[in-house]
Amino acid sequence: MRVLVVEDEKQLAIALKKGLEAEGFAVDVALTGTDGLWMARENDYDLHILDIMLPEVNGYQICATLRDEGVWTPILMLTAKDGEFDEAEALDSGADDYLTKPFSYVVLLARLRALLRRGGRERPAVLESGSLRLDPATRRCWRSETEVKLTAREVSLLEFLLRHENEVVSKREILDHVWDYAFEGSPNIVEVYIKHLRSKIDRPFGLDTIHTVRGSGYRLASDGD
């Protein structure tokens, strides 16, 4: 899942990026409102985290602009002071949730997970496909009753494939959602990770659920398809 953090307090922005990346998110950071709005329009994120008080364009304005333009990506606002006024204004401008600084990291993660589940269509907390189950919140994965150990990046890749079960997803889409904007390595990294996943969730079980679609990308099919 790819997240945009718009926050002008550099230390907080860096801490958020590091923390969320450790949880398997791909994170881009913008330090000004102008950059944040540009990046939000230019890229396809699964979630936006917006500070309210920002140089140039503030968080309310970014939020209202995106909503006006029909961008419905879930938005979590960070408010510096508490008070009903801020909360009301954040929600009025089209944010889905808000958090008052200073916040606990555990609470932030729980809110983000809740927003991702709610975002767009209803999403189950635990993702399933045939005998495969993935709980993105705890990063645990099972094939039938056997638990499969995955790295943070593998969880992120599998989560993306599961959210697009039976659809063909291109390498580019995978790179955009599972790696971040600054990633400049070879797109072949996707093949490498697909191979890792197959060796963990398919091969030991005699299955072949991650199909290569020549010239297009990959498709996760439930077992037996």
Q: Which residues are near Ca ion by CB under 5 A?
A: 8, 51, 53
Nearest approach, Cβ of residue 52 and Ca ion (Å): 7
Nearest approach, Cβ of residue 107 and Ca ion (Å): 19
Residue 76 neighbours by CB distance under 10 Å: 21
What the block records as the tokens of 200 is: 């963990």
| Residue 53 or 221 having the CB closest to Ca ion | 53
Task: Annotate 61-98 with three-state secondary structure.
Answer: HHHHHHHHCCCCCCEEEEECCCCHHHHHHHHHCCCCEE
| Residue 50 or 161 having the CB closest to Ca ion | 50
| Residue 40 or 158 having the CB closest to Ca ion | 40
Residue 118 neighbours by CB distance under 10 Å: 13
Nearest approach, Cβ of residue 123 and Ca ion (Å): 30
CA distance 68 to 62: 10
| Residue 8 or 86 having the CB closest to Ca ion | 8
User: Given CA atoms 200, 110, 7, 120 in this order, what sign does their dihedral have?
Assistant: positive
Q: Which residue's C-beta sits nearest to Ca ion? A: 53
The number of residues in the chain equals 225
| Residue 33 or 94 having the CB closest to Ca ion | 33
